[in-house]
Amino acid sequence: MGVKYVLSEPTPPGWWAKNKVIVCSVASLLAGLYLAGGCDHQATPSPAPAPSPTATATRSSKG
């Protein structure tokens, strides 16, 4: 014979059960921004390009 009637109300879901989707979504968004470098508020300038090498001829004077 099975249970026919439940005499008490089930406990309501806790804070985690209600908000775990939001917490996981925000944590994933912050982790993605961190890994992508989106939270780096310091803009680092790219280094200036080095001058291109040129060929120079050296002449020695023998006298």
- The number of angstroms, rounded, from the C-alpha of 49 to the middle of its chain's C-alpha atoms is 29
Per-residue model confidence (pLDDT) at position 42:
63
CA separation for the pair 48, 13 (Å, rounded): 59
Name the DSSP class of 33: H
The per-residue pLDDT for range 3-61, each reduced to its tens digit, is 777 778 888 999 999 999 999 999 999 999 888 886 555 656 677 777 777 777 777 76
Question: Which one, of 24, 42, 20, 43, lies nearest residue 32 by Cα?
Answer: 24
Per-residue model confidence (pLDDT) at position 33:
87
What percentage of the chain's residues is helix, strand, coil (to nearest 5)? 35, 0, 65
pTM above 0.85, yes or no: no
Per-residue model confidence (pLDDT) at position 38:
63
Per-residue model confidence (pLDDT) at position 19:
96
